[in-house]
Amino acid sequence: MQAAKSSETIQAHDRPMLEALAAHWPEYLMEAANLGLFMISACIFGVLLDHPMSPLQQAIESPGSRRIVGGLAMGLTAIAIIHSPWGQRSGAHMNPAVTLSFYVLGKIERWDALFYAAAQFLGGLLGVGLADLFIGFPLRHTSVNYVATVPGEKGIFAAFVAELLISFLLLYVVLNASNRPRWARLAPFFAGAMVALFISVEAPVSGMSMNPARTFGSSVFASDFTALWVYFTAPPLGMLLAAALYRSQGQVLCAKFHHHNGQRCIFRCRFHELEEQQSD
């Protein structure tokens, strides 16, 4: 009954589309830029670590070791984007599955969620496109293939299960960290650490996406849509399960990964309650 009432309240207070666009377009553009930057970083490190003519690829012979280096690079990239002025202001979702989960949790208005998702898909495409423009052939090489995420040797079912699991774990950990006084400031580092861990360990199974927009951006340029449905279904399902489990245990205060900053917040924010707990 309480969940139904909450849903009705959200719908009753949703901004009209044009009003939301006029008020929050900077955040939408920031979301596009955030994922675009993440994809540029992924493309750069993909070439450095996997192209056969790269000195770094030749220096690190073990694929497992290269995945660890790549994981650390992308984990640090995620942390840097979340802490950047754009990430602080938009919330740095960079992922339609994250945005959908916060919408279901009642933290985002309908049109903001839709515009965020559209911006994330656009950002993923633009990021890979810009990387292709400046890197060129090395990014297109079969060993890199626009850092496309496709199922590994274990097959499509294993990739689906793996994507479901890592997506669940990422959001569940972030929700637990960001809504607790002791851990809230560390939420971006938890997120970055999990990105690093999953790339290091899980990438051979599914390519480690957790993000429909990230996979779509690479797939378009690689012209490789192998098992695309896996990356459009498993991450949202995993994160929605995490959201449902967390909601049964505690309340979500805001939809930002990093909230200890002076940037405006466009969400249904109750972060001040956490700050009050910290001051008591």
| pTM flag (> 0.85) | yes
- Given a contact cutoff of 8 angstroms between Cβ atoms, the answer to whether 87 and 257 are in contact is yes
Alpha helix positions (H), 51-109: 55-59, 63-83, 85-90, 96-104
Take residue 122 and report the two structure tokens written for it: 């656009």
**pLDDT (tens digit per residue) in 21-69:** 999 999 999 999 999 999 999 999 999 999 999 999 999 999 999 999 9
Residue type, 137: F
Cα of 92 vs its chain's centroid, Å: 8
For residue 138, CA distances in Å to 9, 68, 73, 79, 142 come to: 51, 21, 19, 27, 9
- Given a contact cutoff of 8 angstroms between Cβ atoms, the answer to whether 147 and 46 are in contact is yes
Of 22, 126, 34, the C-alpha closest to 78 is: 34
Domain ranges of the chain: 25-275
Half-sphere exposure of 199 (CA within 13 A, CB side): 25
Residue 270 is classified by DSSP as -
Res. 261: pLDDT tops 70: yes
**pLDDT (tens digit per residue) in 58-105:** 999 999 999 999 999 999 999 999 999 999 999 999 999 999 999 999
Which CATH topology does 25-275 take?
Glycerol uptake facilitator protein (1.20.1080)
Q: What's the pLDDT band for 131 if we cut at 50, 70, 90?
A: very high
Q: How far apart are the first and last CA of the chain?
A: 33
